[in-house]
Homo-oligomer: A and B are copies of this chain.
Amino acid sequence: MSLLVVGSIALDDVETPKAKVEGALGGSNTFISIAASYFTKPIHMVGVVGEDFPKEHIDLFNKYDINLEGLQIIKGGKTFRWGGVYLENFIDRDTNYTDLNVFENFNPVIPESQKKSKVVLLGNIDPVLQLNVLEQIENPELVICDTMNLWINIRNQELKEVINKIDVLIINDSEAKMLADENNLIKAAKMILKTGPKYLIIKKGEHGAMLFHNEDIFSAPAFPIEELHDPTGAGDTFAGGFAGYLLKTGDITYENMKTAVVYGSVLASFSVEQFSTGGIEDLTEGKINERFEAFKKMAQF
């Protein structure tokens, strides 16, 4: 089954306590699409880059069979660029700059053949664009949406409109508390579920992830990482692995979503072990399943 992914494609300047990279491939769509490609084909990427976007990155997308029909390359434009510094704990970060560049006037156009997509993943971008995409899709079976604190702050109304239209919302714990304006995470989750989505996934970084559905709660551990290198894109990678597994199995029940949450966590655990997309390149089914079994062993009693 095909997956339609809308999100940013970026060049990142990232500094962590360990090292520094410049112009590294990033953006929510990048991480989501590569992660999902291990589970399902085709992946349709909808996004925008500038003429400066390196050919090697396009080659990388092609390597993972990512369909680029919906990728706009703006003549003379510059690719979205983000620069940030992770602090000692590898969680908190300071943004040095966010140069929207070609993203500033991005108008996502879903190719005709992709308008009937059954599963849509709205990566973390302006909720106004997420709404615009939803209007172009005919009758999707499952819409998964990621967002971030920025949009909770500056596009609150539009974000709530998006949330009301989707099936699965993926956010982190501080965002959930902010969105619900409630300090107790469990209460916050239940409040968010009442505003639209049937499923809510809360990512808690080194503390794992939780899936909420009606009165049910599933709690997945995180993989024990001793050498964290770059958390950029871990959440997007999680979403990609999660969606990819659902598509691979063609099963969108709560029971199967639990396993999908673990596969999302598996992919995210690879992602943080290297800079940029390094950690999720050249994975194999064997490597992925081996780590999945490690999660099982860690959680079973």
- A181 interface hit (Cβ, 8 Å): no
Contact yes or no, A217 B207, CB < 8 A: no
Closest residue of chain B to A88 (Cβ to Cβ) is: B183
Residues 187-231 of A at the B interface (beta carbon under 8 Å): 187, 190, 204, 206-208, 216-222, 224-226, 228
Q: How far is the CA of A148 from the CA of B236 in the complex (A)?
A: 37
The CA of A190 and the CA of B301, in the complex, are separated in Å by: 21
User: A residues near B, CB below 8 A?
Assistant: 88-89, 183-187, 190, 204, 206-208, 216-222, 224-226, 228, 258-259, 261-262, 296-301
Besides the known contacts A89-B183, A218-B299, 19 further A-B residue pairs in the complex with CB atoms under 8 A apart: A88-B183, A186-B224, A186-B226, A187-B226, A204-B207, A207-B207, A208-B221, A216-B297, A217-B224, A217-B298, A218-B301, A219-B298, A219-B299, A258-B300, A258-B301, A261-B301, A299-B299, A299-B301, A300-B300
A-B contact pairs, 23 of them (CB 8 A): A88-B183, A89-B183, A184-B226, A184-B228, A185-B206, A186-B226, A190-B226, A207-B207, A208-B219, A208-B221, A216-B297, A217-B298, A218-B298, A218-B299, A218-B301, A219-B222, A219-B299, A220-B301, A259-B301, A261-B301, A262-B301, A299-B299, A299-B301
